[in-house]
Amino acid sequence: MIFQVQQDRLLGRQGAEHILIEAWGRNALRVRAGLMAFTDEYSALSPLVTPTAVRTERTEDGAWIENGMLRCFVHNNGWMAFYRADKLILKEYYRDFSGANAHSPSMKLTAREYKPIRGGDYALTLRFESRSDEKIFGMGQYQQDNFDLKGCVLELAQRNSQVSVPFYLSNLGYGFLWNTPAIGEASFGTNFMRFTAESGVQIDYWLTADETPHKVMETYTGAVGRAPAFPDDMLGLWQSKLRYRTQDEVLSVAREYHRRGIPLDVIVIDFFHWVRQGDWSFDKDYFPDPAAMCRELHEMGTRCMVSIWPTVDRKSVNFQEMRDLGLLVRTERGSMQCFDFQGDTVIYDATNPEARAYIWQKAKENYYDLGVDSFWLDEAEPEFAAYDFDHFRYSTGSVLRAGNAYPMYHAKAFYDGLIAAGEERPVSLLRSAWVGSQKFGAVLWSGDVLSNFQSLRDQLTAGLHVGIAGIPWWTTDTGGFFGDVTAPGFNELLIRWFEFSAFSPVLRLHGDRGPHDIPNLSDLDYGGGFSPTGRPNELWSYGEEVYRILKKYVDIRLGMKDYLRRVFREASETGAPVMRPLFFEFPHDKKAWEIGDEYMFGGDYLVAPVLEEGVRERSVYLPQGSWRLCTDGTLYEGGRAYLIPAPLDVIPVFSLVRANTAG
């Protein structure tokens, strides 16, 4: 390999392949490799990141570049190895003829592969050596309860309830970002690790190394963006269901909360409050005076959030204009249909700045100007009728090449619009995200999940990984989305889930509650009376015992508002997640890296949710230190596990007793 050693970057060339390694933030390097000119078109990284202290050097067997604690060696044969100070943390997988490699040279397998595909792009593969002592966390949200991702194969694609945010944190002291929105796969195998992109022009990744997870996350979020300040008046209860069909239904629920003296921060109006998908306006037959509705909600201290879908029905008032202006997602063959739920619909192209401006203007005129405070950006993956990613194209390129960034651009459309309208702290609720979505005020929720205890366990794992991936604002459909209120054990599930949600970043009650025996408001096949609704889903909808417990946790949540403000401020300032794995606060405790059914809520509280039906006590591991059980004040010394009582109305929560805390 021929090297050019410059002050803050290292260039290499071997045949048609070029590599570029640059200092990119504190203790961080960005690596690009390809057969064409390099581009920043699809990068999630900020272009303005100051390096630490950069040093480059040419040696007999290769070249080095060093930025603070992170060092990279590039061998003359092209493979790379990364070090935290002098400790090897990551090495490319190389099985070719080389005096520096003792593994199976006859395989002729190199770390980086570029397979040409029609249209000029390449299918890309990057391989690393696997280490048996490594644990991996992050990568977004997957519906599984694997806490340590080592051994997992993850599709890098957005689906309903699956969110690809391809950053991981390793217990070896580094963080890694696969810096492309292409559809692909991440495989953390025990024989080797592999990242693939089905379409692209360059391999692009970024690493940082540091002493603690806190510092790794601070550097990572500094490079891709952090969440802004969170509104104080959204830290309490968010009320939602499938679905409030009329203005009167919305107001009757809000009035009942007000009558009971329960602060309601947000009430959500779900889908088909419109006539057609893509109208982005209220159906006036069912919402005759939304401005008056919003005024009354505001008088009661409640924000109004409205669901917006990216889908545009062919019969929508906006379809023809959007098609003529080229604002819709294109299909590569056949019909231009994208989605077929309750209509023949196409999806607006959020990657197109003109399309983003268009949808925001409609939302502003028909919602925001009437008093609607924020938006629920449902279907934000976007959801296709079939996830045939090779069939669709955005303005930024084929979905194979650029698809995973769509939800980030969708969040940006509303964030930019709300900022321009004068909002200081915009918040949108989305069902999907990508790297950097957090900087556009995105609250991610975990999608349409089942109402059962396995799903609850999956959501805890998902929330921890999402936070490590850089998205601190996260929530779930409390009780699950698909649930039958008459099913045995549903109330117990709802209580346990609500207890968990009270110690989640956002406390939100939502779900499609069956059985579905409520008649539609209209026999038409469109409009606000067309779609069905689920059973009631308010705090008082499940009987007095359930109401008493749920209200207890609303009160606990409200009593923690000062603490929540501090934790959310920390997320904005340093990138620290609100929900944190134990190892995030206790990285030197080896046991903390293995515990996936407990978590830290901020830096002061350890939460041990009950995740199985019928359980009334559970084992809780406490890291080193002194801990106080919040229910009765009992003190426990850390470094071991305890069997803790957990009756139905109790979720075990411990507060960390700081050295300067009295008692």
The model's pLDDT over 192-224, given as tens digits with 9 standing for 90+, comes to: 999 999 999 999 999 999 999 999 999 999 999
Closest to 402 measured CA to CA, from 577, 197, 103, 592 = 197
378 flagged as catalytic: yes
Q: How far apart are CA 104 and CA 386, in angstroms?
A: 42
Name the residue ranges covered by the structural domains of the chain: 2-224, 581-657
> What pLDDT does 284 receive?
98
Residue 613's CB is within 10 A of a number of other CB atoms, namely 13
381 flagged as catalytic: yes
Instruction: Tell me which residue has tokens 């008056």.
Output: 292
448 flagged as catalytic: yes
The model's pLDDT over 82-96, given as tens digits with 9 standing for 90+, comes to: 999 999 999 999 887
Maximum distance among all alpha carbons in the chain? 80
Decide if 94 contacts 73 (C-beta within 8 A): no
> What pLDDT does 632 receive?
96
DSSP per-residue string spanning 299-352: HTT-EEEEEE-SEEETTSTTHHHHHHHT-B-EESSS----B-TTS-EEEB-TTS
End-to-end alpha carbon distance in the chain = 64
Check if CATH label 2.60.40.1930 holds for domain 581-657. no
The model's pLDDT over 295-348, given as tens digits with 9 standing for 90+, comes to: 999 999 999 999 999 999 999 999 999 999 999 999 999 888 999 988 899 999
Q: How far apart are CA 198 and CA 433, in angstroms?
A: 20
Q: Which residues contact 372 (CB under 8 A, 6 or more apart)?
A: 290, 294, 304, 305, 306
Q: How far apart are CA 611 and CA 582, in angstroms?
A: 17
> What pLDDT does 105 receive?
72
- Burial readout 268-303 (b: 16 or more C-beta within 10 A, e: otherwise): bbbbbbbbbbbbbbbbeebbeebeebbebbeeeebb
pLDDT average, residue stretch 394-410: 97
Residues listed for the chain: 663
Range of lowest pLDDT (113-122, 364-373, 512-521):
113-122
Quote the distance between the C-alpha of residue 57 and its chain's center: 39
Q: Which two structure tokens, joined as six digits, stand for 325?
A: 């202006």
- DSSP state, 230? P
Catalytic site residue from 210, 381, 477, 538: 381
Decide if 319 contacts 278 (C-beta within 8 A): yes
2-224 and 581-657 have identical folds: yes
Would you say residue 42 has pLDDT above 60?
yes
pLDDT band at 472 (very low <50, low <70, confident <90, very high): very high
Query: CATH code for 2-224?
Result: 2.60.40.1760
> What pLDDT does 8 receive?
85
Overall pTM surpassing 0.85 (yes/no): yes
The model's pLDDT over 269-292, given as tens digits with 9 standing for 90+, comes to: 999 999 999 999 999 999 999 999
pLDDT average, residue stretch 430-452: 98
- DSSP state, 530? T
Range of lowest pLDDT (114-118, 352-356, 644-648):
114-118
Catalytic site residue from 129, 134, 283, 378: 378
Decide if 553 contacts 200 (C-beta within 8 A): no
Rg of the chain over CA atoms, in angstroms? 25
Catalytic site residue from 148, 185, 448, 604: 448
